[in-house]
Amino acid sequence: RRCGVGWVSVKDRRSATMHGYQAAYGAAQQHPGYAQHPGYAQHAGYAAPQAQAAPAAHAAYPGYAGYANAAGYGQPQAAQHQQHPGYGQPAAPPASDRPQNLNCSGCKHETVAQIVRGDFTLHSENHSKPVYKKNGQWNGLDVMIYYWDERDGPNFSGWWFGPKVGGDQVWAYHPDKENVPPPSGWKVPYDGPVDNTFILTQTGGQAAPQAAAAAPQAAAYPGYAQGYGQQQAAWGQPGYASAAYDHAAAERQRQEQMRQEQMRQEQARQQQMQAEMQRKQQEEAQRRLVEQQRQEQLRLKREAEQKAREEQARKQKEEMEKKAAEQRATLGVRKVIQKLRLATPENFDEITQELQTTLSTELPKCGAQSQIVKDEADKGLEQARKCIDMVMEQRKRDAEKKEAEEKKRAEQEALTKEFIDELTDLLETAEASTEKIKELGAPLEKSEDAPEKALKEIEGIVKAMTEAAQEAKASSKKCTDFVVEKGTAMREILAVTGPQPPAAMAAMQETKNTLAKLLQRMGVLDKSTDTLLATGKVAKDEALRKAAAKTKTAELTKKFNKHDKDKDSFLSQAEVTTFAKAEMGFQCQKSDLEKIWKVAVKKGDKGVSMDNLYLLKMTVGAAKELQRNQKRRAVREAKEKIVAEARAKLRAKIQEVEFAAKDLDAELVKIEQAVAPLLSKVRATPEPAMLKEADACEKLIKAGHDHVEKVREKVVAIPQGFDPKHKEDLKEVVAAETKKLQLHMARSDNRLGRARNLTNCYREKASRKTAASISKVREFALKLARQHGAKNSLSNEQIFGKITKKQKIDEAEFVKFFTSIDQVLKELEFEEEEEEKAEEAKEEGEGEAKPAEEKPKVEKKPIEQVLLTKDGLKSFFASVADPGTKTLSKESFLRLIQVYYKVVKDTPLTAELEVGSGTSERTLKVREVLKLLEGPSTEATMKVYRAKVKCHKDGVEGWATLAGNAGTAFLEEGGHLYKACAKVALTDSAEEKESTTMLREGDVVEVLEWPTKEEESSLLRMKVKTRIGGKIGWITQVDEEGKVLADVV
């Protein structure tokens, strides 16, 4: 609830005014006829003294008493009137309770503040709540305060500032759902944070018709008069009035007397209260006078402080202007120095003169920076001269290189022209041979009505074409051999990469086009020769076929005439029977003759003519086939009888084997149940337990394999015991009957194979897990050893001497050393100079030290600390011990503790530790491997760690930055680990190239001897040790074709 310009709870207001309302109501309830006296509510005497003592903020809120009475305050005897309708029921705040005028002030948002600041007047109503409009527009827009309910969702419900009610454009928002706009807590803009300076206050009174009719005494308590008026309206209901007028007139007179007596008493109390109020007003006036004096003192103090601040600001401004002038002069000189660094030989002298001129004019203005700027100018001039010398030298080298390239290009063009000329001559010779073949085969090209060539003539032509084709192929082979012999050199010439002069590029493209045409002509040669030769062979084959057909026709005519006894050019039935028996070995029956006569004898002919002899042979052949079919059917039926008998015996044997296969299945199920959960237990199971489980599973798999072999032997023995002469007949039956068992055995093998693969995978993961834990211990232990050496200024050789006095380290010495050194690995950190300066300033008493300016902190990954147990160190020692021994040699230890880096981001390699003092040797490229020689050491200027390293690529030494001061990493520890990019052989010696031991893609190895190039084979070979299994051998890192087989991890 809102009261005046502040906010209080109903409970607070009740406690402040309850006694006054009870007194007024106590006097009124004893006089039932009070509803007939319209002026009754005008008597200020009915407000108790306690009501006058209420806070001023409460009394200034019109209608407060109405709210109090509606809620039941000041009605201790309301229970007596509960039977009257409408008595004591809460009423909604009337429209007259809404503030008529509001004022908006504050607001941090500059744009929104210009829009919303000002006075607002009650304008209308929206969603049962008031709408206020600003007195005046902003840029032609109205400014409205309105409420919006939850019809569009709870997120859009609340009070809004906008140009129109319910519009899309809004400036401020409050989620409150009260009946009037809230005074504070507004979000500006509507989706921004709460602006605590944004205040909404009431600036005018409220319309109260009841208050207008109240007496002057009630005007001091407008809330009471309004509330009382509402009660009077309720008690004026017909039911209540009729009950009051049932009393006698005497009772009315008595009550009137009592009322007048109470009014006199109330007037006395009012006079007492007025005196009390005058006393309080005097006290308030005195308090205000004291406050004014205090405010005046504060004003004078603020004015003095303001003058002091202005004086300090003036001095600071003068100092800043002086520094700005120095900075401008310094910047002017440095711009020329930067320009000098980018100078070319053509403009070097001009820029040098400009630098001298700038120094003469600007150097005196640099103040304290003069000497520094002078040194920078001298250094920049010296560096520029060196750069110019380097540019001139480079130009000289480029000119020499260009001359050499032009000379080489001329030689290559001569070789190319010679190659093309020779190849063209060879092609022309081969093409001439092909033309000769075409000329020899021309007589074979005839039209359909041309007379056929004699067979001997065709054979002669084909023979000549074959000889010419051999000559053409020999010529074509010369072309091919020539290209094979000189093609490699030509490919090298034509494969030149990089920028080339336009004329050279055009000549090269023309050469490529010419060669492509020549090669195309070579391809056509062999095809043309083969096509022409095939044409001759086809003609020869056609002639031979026709000759054979004539010969066969002559033989058939001879046979026909032989059996045509009556020489009537027809074969009678008797003659057909003789022909079939003599020539075709078939004895014709009467039914066969009838079929022959239907097929081979025309109507009206006496028998089979020579023209239909082929029909006779066809019909006799069909009859012969029918006879053979009858014989085959008899043989098949006998075979089926034998097979049926054998099938019954096979079925009995198969059932016996099936019972054995069921037992095998039960055993395989046990194996599968044992291996199924293995991979899911990898993460939670320790390595020793994993190895034991793998051994147990392999034992089960071996037993299962033996069982499978026994069942397979029974399957193989099924066809044994039958008559060997029926072996071929039963072969298909046995295969069909045992097919299910064969498939069952194949599935059993697959199931065992899957179980074996799972077990091997589980064992491999156990090995990888062991290797990972050993690697973790190894990495941490070696870092501790290096930290110990750095802390005590010990070299790697001295660390070895501290571990042992002998030539080799044994396990006990190894474990003892690593358990005796500091077990906590610490980070390298820089001291903050700003904090030191602040502390020094505080100690010297220069006043309060200003806090150091905060720089963005780079989040560092915390170092993981590893617990080094004796068992872990023993496993670590066993993994690095020399092969076949239980000791670690000095050479192996130094290789183990040596630090290598790999480049993860391109970074310069400089000659000196300081970043700006040394010249750059070259740029380190990503994935390069570096050997640590010295450091890491701190570089104070840039606040970075740098290390002196040696590049494995070319042996160049220099200083490189590990990581930038913004957290960007350039180098990371590593480089001594390689990963196989493909299958690669692991050989026992560097000379061997093939081996049965193969590294799989992804296997990780540790470098024992770095890659070296073999002169004969151009292979890069290196000696390595596998991380899993610890096998030592040689692998090819890059093959002869330049393919990388192993790369840095």
Distance CA 953, CA 950 (A): 9
Q: CA neighbours within 13 Å on the CB side: how many for 157?
A: 11
Distance CA 658, CA 995 (A): 44
Distance CA 158, CA 129 (A): 11
Among candidate residues 399, 398, 389, the one with its CA nearest the CA of residue 348: 389
| Structural tokens at position 855 | 């720089």
Among candidate residues 504, 510, 514, 600, the one with its CA nearest the CA of residue 560: 600
| Structural tokens at position 947 | 């290390």
Which 3 state secondary structure label does DSSP give 173?
strand
| Structural tokens at position 200 | 């909404």
Distance CA 539, CA 376 (A): 97
Q: Is the peptide bond before 189 cis (omega within 30 degrees of 0)?
A: yes
* H-state helical runs in 676-726: 687-716
C-beta of residue 120 within 8 angstroms of C-beta of residue 134: yes
Determine the pLDDT at residue 903. Answer: 92
C-beta of residue 952 within 8 angstroms of C-beta of residue 880: no
Describe the strand order of the beta sheet including 1004-1013 as a list of residue ranges.
Answer: 1032-1038, 1020-1026, 1004-1013, 977-980, 1046-1048
What pTM does this model have? 0.40
C-beta of residue 794 within 8 angstroms of C-beta of residue 788: yes
Measured CA distances, 548 to 455, 555, 623, 838, 1008 (Å): 11, 11, 28, 120, 80
Residues 768-777: contacts with CB under 8 Å, at least 24 apart: 768/1028, 769/682, 769/687, 769/690, 770/687, 770/875, 771/879, 771/1027, 771/1028, 773/687, 773/872, 773/875, 774/872, 774/875, 774/876, 774/879, 775/1027, 776/866, 777/866, 777/868, 777/872, 777/873, 777/875, 777/876
Place of tokens 């009257």: 84
Measured CA distances, 52 to 9, 253, 285, 785 (Å): 19, 31, 19, 87
Distance CA 352, CA 347 (A): 9
Distance CA 593, CA 591 (A): 5
| Residue 507 CB neighbours (<10 A) | 16
* H-state helical runs in 792-843: 796-803, 811-820, 833-843
Successive 10-residue mean pLDDT values, the chain, 1049 residues: 34 34 37 37 36 36 36 36 36 60 91 90 92 91 92 88 89 91 90 89 56 36 38 39 57 86 87 87 88 90 91 89 86 88 88 88 84 87 87 87 84 84 85 80 56 65 80 82 79 70 80 83 78 76 77 84 85 86 84 85 84 85 84 79 74 83 90 89 85 90 91 82 66 77 89 92 86 86 88 88 89 90 75 46 46 50 81 87 87 87 90 74 87 84 85 87 84 85 85 79 85 78 83 85 83
Which 3 state secondary structure label does DSSP give 427?
helix
User: What are the φ/ψ torsions at residue 385 (nearest 5 degrees)?
Assistant: -60, -40
Q: CA neighbours within 13 Å on the CB side: how many for 875?
A: 18
Distance CA 926, CA 1047 (A): 12
The total number of residues shown for the chain amounts to 1049
DSSP category for residue 36: G
| Structural tokens at position 816 | 């003892």
Distance CA 734, CA 726 (A): 12
| Structural tokens at position 628 | 């053979």
C-beta of residue 112 within 8 angstroms of C-beta of residue 96: no
Q: CA neighbours within 13 Å on the CB side: how many for 602?
A: 8
Which 3 state secondary structure label does DSSP give 1007?
strand
Among candidate residues 400, 536, 384, 562, the one with its CA nearest the CA of residue 459: 536
Distance CA 57, CA 351 (A): 80
| Structural tokens at position 230 | 């509402």
| Structural tokens at position 280 | 């309080």
C-beta of residue 61 within 8 angstroms of C-beta of residue 67: no
C-beta of residue 112 within 8 angstroms of C-beta of residue 188: yes
Report residue 704 CA to chain centroid gap: 46
Q: Return all residues near 702 (Cβ < 8 A) that are at least 6 apart.
A: none
| Structural tokens at position 890 | 């000095």
Determine the pLDDT at residue 496. Answer: 64
Measured CA distances, 896 to 891, 1007, 1047 (Å): 9, 10, 20
Taking the CA atoms of residue 821, residue 826, residue 829 and residue 832 in that order, the dihedral angle to the nearest 10 degrees is -90
C-beta of residue 410 within 8 angstroms of C-beta of residue 404: no
Consecutive H or E run containing 381: helix 370-440
Measured CA distances, 68 to 226, 240, 334, 914, 1004 (Å): 10, 22, 80, 83, 86
Please name every residue paired with 1022 in a beta bridge, in sequence order, or none if there are none: 1035
Please name every residue paired with 809 in a beta bridge, in sequence order, or none if there are none: 888
Q: Return all residues near 244 (Cβ < 8 A) that are at least 6 apart.
A: 32, 33, 35
